Amino acid sequence: MGSSRTGPVQPRALLNRQAMDLSPELVAMVHRSVQDAGPDPERQPLTDEDYDQLVTALLATRPLDSPVWVFAYGSLLWKPGFAHVEELPGRLIGWHRAFCFSQKRFRGTPDCPGLMLSLDRGGECRGLLLRFDEGTLERELHGLFRREMTMKPLNHGARWVRIRTVSGTVPAFTFVSNRSSPSYVGKLPPERVADVLATACGHLGSGAAYLYETVMRLRAVSIEDRRLWELQALVAERIRRSGSRSERGETVS
């Protein structure tokens, strides 16, 4: 993967020293084998031409004389899926992590939808900048866009932002929410988000697993997100409660 500059960006070390409530054992209780039901028949998949246009548009607005970085805040933290040559912790002002999209595929199903993480307006978000290798830039961008954006209208799209780091401000692109998407559910109470993540599972895995991996990766690079920390505790409590009810033979809804 190349060099890594993962120094702390104002971490609050106290939480990172605490044991997580959500554990691999609890995550395993949510997992189940799910068949991929395929794309939503009410929405259109992106075409090769769409992806060509998206990549071209991003590169056409690329800041001059700057390497291309992507700001990772969710699954790109722990499963980037593309070659990168450097990592740098950073902070994005004006956007925050939010499980703000309903998800009927991937980590949910039509009868038990999950929730998808994106960046929604307001607040701030701490994450990792990942720098692309210039020699493979376009190929890796095509692969990343196909992973992050699948259906029209888009749930979230690529946008250039400015990330604050210990080395100064860095231009980067990231994926931000499209509030016009039919899957956008807005700001949900943490308790409601926890209810969904503790039960939903799709062919790529469960919402609980997604949350666990995200928090674990943030802890590994000394980045704190208090909302996610509180959310993982709520999800763990719900999974334990559901398991206890199942052991007693009660119906778990």
pLDDT in tens, 135-147: 999 999 999 999 9
- HSE-up (13 A, CA, CB side) for residue 229: 16
The residue-averaged pLDDT of 229-242 equals 97
pLDDT of residue 10: 41
Match domain 18-241 to its CATH number in 3.40.1160.10, 1.10.10.10, 3.10.490.10, 3.90.1170.50. 3.10.490.10
243 confidence band (pLDDT: 50, 70, 90):
confident
pLDDT in tens, 3-42: 445 444 444 456 667 899 999 999 999 999 999 989 988 8
SS3 95: strand
Average pLDDT, the chain: 91
Q: What is the DSSP string of 185-226?
A: -----HHHHHHHHTT-EETTEEHHHHHHHHHHHHHHTT---H
Give residue 108's pLDDT. 97
Closest CA relative to residue 75, chosen from 45, 102, 97:
97
- H/E segment holding residue 143: helix 137-148
Q: State pLDDT tens for residues 182-191.
A: 999 999 999 9
Average the pLDDT over 137-159 and give the result.
Answer: 96
- Find the mean pLDDT for residues 100-105: 96
Q: Which pairing describes strands 151-152 and 114-132: parallel, antiparallel, or unpaired? A: unpaired
Choice among 42, 124, 134, 148 that is catalytic: 148
* CA distance to 219, 221, 222, per residue, from 12 (Å): 10, 12, 8
pLDDT surpassing 90 at residue 237? yes
Which pLDDT band, with edges at 50, 70 and 90, does 65 fall under? confident
Query: Is residue 251's pLDDT more than 70?
Result: no
Q: How many CA atoms lie within 13 A of 95 on its CB side?
A: 28
Looking at the chain, the whole-number percentage of residues with pLDDT higher than 70 is 90
Q: For residue range 184-221, what is the model confidence (pLDDT) as tens digits?
A: 999 999 999 999 999 999 999 999 999 999 999 999 99
70 Cβ neighbours under 8 A, 6+ residues apart: 76, 129, 130, 132, 144, 172, 173, 174
**Residue 138 is among the residues annotated as catalytic for this protein:** no
pTM beyond 0.85, yes or no = yes
Q: Is the pLDDT of residue 246 over 50?
A: yes
pLDDT level of residue 247 (50, 70, 90 thresholds)? low
According to the model, what pLDDT value does residue 26 have?
Answer: 98
**Rg of the chain on CA atoms, in Å:** 18
pLDDT score recorded for residue 11 = 44
Is residue 2 predicted with pLDDT exceeding 60? no
Q: Which of the two residues, 10 and 99, has the higher pLDDT score?
A: 99
Q: Are 136 and 130 in contact (CB under 8 A)?
A: no
pLDDT of residue 249: 55
Q: Which long-range contacts (C-beta less than 8 Å, at least 24 apart) are formed by 57-64?
A: 58/141, 58/158, 58/160, 58/173, 59/138, 59/141, 61/160, 62/160, 63/160, 63/171
